[in-house]
């Protein structure tokens, strides 16, 4: 049975991993006959957002690994515990946590950097030539994970696409249910909730991404 690592960034679209994207990813991996293991960095998240009001709760502090355990039903490991030989691929759901906790794109834009433990985690897959799937905003990390010219998509947002290309990537505009495949680097990306108006729209692209990633493994 193929086993896929899934990298989470907390729990909740505004400060962590997007829950719909995360759960649909786990569902499609399982429906494909593969298994998964969730991972997350053991670190404080940038901030906590009240998802009812959209406001930052200055009095609250949360840990990315602990929050990710909500999605994983407790079965999540810190990124430092990865044994890459156990996995055929990696998939990274989006949500603002990918741009706030996995990297600082939400603050620094085109000048962002990937959090060091996260970059090391992803690099173990790239160095082993194993396929990686990125969805929603997480593809902004692609240019830092691969040589210049790596192909990916965040959908059609002009500013984010420009930042992607400033860091050395090649951005391809895509529709909500499209996937963009970089065959050379074994990278697959889809816009998901960068464009999706509903869970069905997001699901269609995620289904294609999971299938393609597994086919490359």
Residues annotated as part of the active site: 136
SS3 49: strand
- Write out the H or E segment, with its range, that includes residue 102: none
Kind of pairing, strands 3-7 and 89-92? parallel
182: β partners:
187
DSSP state of 63: B
* Rounded Cα–Cα distance for residues 65 and 2 (Å): 24
List Cα–Cα distances, 199 to 6, 18, 191, in angstroms. Answer: 19, 11, 13
Residue found under tokens 């860091």: 167
Of the candidates 147, 155, 204, 215, the one whose C-alpha atom is nearest the C-alpha of residue 20 is 204
Give the DSSP H or E segment for 96: helix 96-97
- Give the E-state strand segments of 10-88 in sequence order: 35-40, 76-78
Non-local (6+) Cβ contacts of 30 within 8 A are 36
What span, in angstroms and rounded, lies between the C-alpha atoms of 3 and 26? 11
């Amino acid at each position: 049975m193929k086993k896929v690592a899934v990298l989470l960034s907390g729990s909740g679209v505004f400060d962590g991993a997007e829950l719909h994207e995360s759960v649909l990813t786990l569902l499609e991996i399982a429906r494909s006959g593969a298994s998964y293991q969730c991972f997350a960095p053991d670190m404080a998240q940038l901030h906590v957002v009240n998802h009812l009001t959209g406001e930052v709760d200055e009095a609250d502090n949360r840990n990315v690994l602990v929050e990710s355990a909500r999605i994983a039903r407790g079965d999540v490991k810190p990124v430092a515990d990865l044994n890459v030989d156990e996995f055929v691929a990696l998939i990274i759901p989006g949500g603002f946590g990918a741009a706030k906790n996995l990297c600082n794109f939400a603050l620094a834009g085109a000048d962002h950097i990937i959090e060091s433990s996260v970059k090391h985690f992803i690099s173990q897959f790239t160095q082993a030539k194993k396929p990686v799937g990125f969805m929603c905003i997480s593809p902004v990390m692609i240019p830092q994970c691969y040589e210049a010219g790596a192909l990916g998509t965040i959908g059609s947002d002009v500013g984010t696409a420009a930042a992607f290309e400033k860091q050395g990537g090649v951005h391809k505009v895509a529709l909500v249910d499209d996937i963009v495949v970089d065959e050379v680097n074994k990278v697959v990306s889809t816009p998901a909730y960068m464009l999706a108006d509903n869970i069905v729209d997001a699901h269609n692209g995620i289904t294609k991404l999971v299938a393609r990633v597994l086919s490359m493994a």
